[in-house]
Chains A and B, each alone.
Chain A
Amino acid sequence: MNTREAIPLPKFELSGLYPAERGREVLLYVDTKLVKKLKVLLSNDTIKKKFRQVAEFVLSDNYDKDVYGHEQHSSKSKDVYAIKICVVGNHRIYCKEFYYPKQKRVVMIHYEDKKVEKLDKRLQ
């Protein structure tokens, strides 16, 4: 079985403007294979600022097609959403959602810069 490992992101200070309204806790994880790539991406302050904004939105259990939503629809990309960062490039952080009774775990699994790459066929 092909298993992958993910680490939870530490809790960070939120604005509180987006309280989770669906009554379930949302936890954000990052795939260990993505950590290095994501840290390089977030070393840019403008991108980091936008990431924090979208991360808070994700943690509030909301969806929006321009912020955090489905991008590729196919039978194989079930429960896969994309964090969309359209500053300093056109970045996508693809996330797989796992659902539990009172919890949702969002794992960041893949990163792409849409300006330079086309979506990997394996992800479609």
Chain B
Amino acid sequence: MTSKVKTSWDDILKFKDRKEQMEHHADMLSLKIALDIKRYLEDNEISYKDLAARMGTSAAYITQVLRGDKRINMLFLARLMSALGIEISLNITADKKSARTELDKALNVIFTEAGRVIYDKWAPTHPLQAAGGFKK
């Protein structure tokens, strides 16, 4: 037990591998959907017990899913749609930040911490660069 206590925070919070990272993303996605469902239930004054009865499952299972302890699956969503007579839509959009990062990578642009361009490959010999900094 002592060796575990000596573990650094980085070791605790860092993902072991890509799989673990994707598991976390899946959990967060599930939690996001769960909280949207919870908001719908609250707005429409539907209790977990009532929802469980309509879905033919237990209130304990509903609680676990909507608390983010169990990951939401397609079957749960299908049963939810059927029980509440609702539609669930999915928006697929490009991750703007990633797209921008990829573009910057392709253009070989380097950013400062403040997010300003300080140098790009088309202006390697700009006079301001030699003077200590080229800023756009």
A66 interface residue per 8 A CB criterion: yes
CA distance A39 to B4 in the complex (A): 7
Minimal Cβ-Cβ distance residue in B for A56: B28
In the complex, how many angstroms separate the beta carbon of A41 from the nearest chain B beta carbon? 10
Chain A residue contacts of B38, Cβ below 8 A? 64, 66
Chain B residue contacts of A53, Cβ below 8 A? 24, 27-28, 31, 68
**Residues of B in contact with A, size category:** 20 to 34
Minimal Cβ-Cβ distance residue in A for B23: A49
Selected A-B contacts with CB under 8 Å, 10 pairs: A9-B9, A9-B13, A12-B13, A36-B5, A43-B1, A43-B7, A49-B23, A49-B27, A67-B31, A86-B64
Q: Which 7 A-B pairs have the closest CB atoms?
A: A12-B13, A43-B4, A15-B28, A15-B25, A66-B67, A17-B28, A53-B27
- On A, residues with C-beta under 8 Å from B are 9-10, 12-13, 15-18, 36, 39-40, 42-43, 48-50, 52-53, 55-57, 64, 66-67, 84, 86-87
